[in-house]
Amino acid sequence: MPELLNIEKGPNEIKGQINISGSKSESNRLLILKHLYFPNLKIQGLSTSNDTHLMQKALESNGTEIDVEDAGTSMRFLLAYFSLSTTKPITLKGSPRMHKRPIGILVNELRSLGAKIEYLEKENYPPLRIYPSPVNGNTITIESGISSQYISALMMIAGKLPKGIRINLKGKTVSKPYIELTGNLMQKLGFEVVLNDEFIKIEGQSNFQEKSIQVEPDWSSASYWYLMVCLSTKASLKLRGFKENSFQGDKSLVDLFLKLGVRSIFHENYLLLEKVEMDLPKNLNFDLIDSPDLAQSIIVAMAALGILGEISGLQTLKIKETDRLQALKVELEKTGAQITIGKDFLKIERGISTLENVKFETWSDHRMAMSLAALSMISPISIQNPEVVNKSYPNFWEDMKLLGFELSNHLPEDLEL
């Protein structure tokens, strides 16, 4: 039976300091690049997330079976990594949900470069078996409107190909800042990277000589504190280590949440979040095609504040840890909100009217848990399966306690002693 976390109504004023661990996106990319090119590189400030733990475990494994559980980034990146670095057959598998997340586009492109990959169950889906095979090709064309992780995975193996790689981009690119993050990190590590709307070109090995590299804190995780500040009556919250010139695309939340009453002030060693007294708009529309991981935080904020509107660019949300569009609709409609969803959008037609006795399901999704937890700023709430936050932000509940939230865990009534 699922565990239930009860959260009392949060403090009216959010005040204090939070230390968020390193970016999961940066950490997982740097780990792949370290193991491909820089075995002695020291990565400082690695993410403490379970996804990053799974990536480290896989890269350090000598076994023939790798289980990435529910880590989608690890599945995509490791498929490319093992396609050119394994000396023995490797089975790559994950959770039941992972085996429903498509990967055929990446498999096809890796095969076109010479990789030998076999589907073990259903065509186009994990689990997979990867065999040792020379990977030589250097020019591919990929549908860029499905997953940026396919493209990042291909970019990172470029230096191991005799002629590098040229990736021609077909269609409208989703989550483009994540591709730019990969390119920026590779440039920082000495690779020559050309990246524009039509193609990406990466040639040859790196001339990088440094011994260490620092990971910036995770902007996606910061979004939940922006959400709580947004729902507070007063706030002065410090987030350590965040930089104004960040490589991470989810830094766009600075501008997004300004429209919802949160001001960001950058200092040398920390970011200060303040609540802004302002007349909030009755309607807002956002296109989150570049930052879909912010969708739950933005949507919960708007619904809680009674702001109506449409959030678009969400086509990738249906193939995440869960179908996030359906999950948001079901959970927010428990509160009296009215939500309409489509293939790539969510529309808020009525905001939240009550949170009394609401028990939120997390849908095995860390971002559902953390965004819905912020509603405790308005009323006491309950969250089922709270442990899902370990995927990206293991200290989330402890950080809530640090700021004065009262949390208590309970088993279902029929299991209590």
Instruction: Tell me which residues are annotated as active site.
Output: 293
Give DSSP secondary structure letters for 55-67.
HHHHHT--SSEEE
| Contact of 376 with 405, CB cutoff 8 Å | yes
Decide: residue 209, CB within 10 A, 0-12 exposed, 13-18 middle, 19+ buried.
Answer: exposed
Q: Give residue 277's region: left, alpha or beta (phi > 0; psi -120 to 50).
A: beta
Q: How far apart are CA 51 and CA 44, in angstroms?
A: 17
For 341, the token pair is 């969803």
For 355, the token pair is 């949170």
Print the SS3 string covering 176-239.
HHHHHHHHHHHHHCCCEEEECCCEEEEECCCCCCCCEEECCECHHHHHHHHHHHHHCCEEEEEE
Q: Is the dihedral of CA 400, 404, 409, 413 positive or negative?
A: negative
Q: Which helix (H) or strand (E) holds 98?
A: none
Give residue 286's Cα distance to chain centre.
19
- For residue 141, the SS3 value is strand
Contacts of 63 (CB under 8 A, 6+ apart): none
- For residue 14, the SS3 value is strand
CA-based nearest residue to 257, from 237, 235, 275: 275
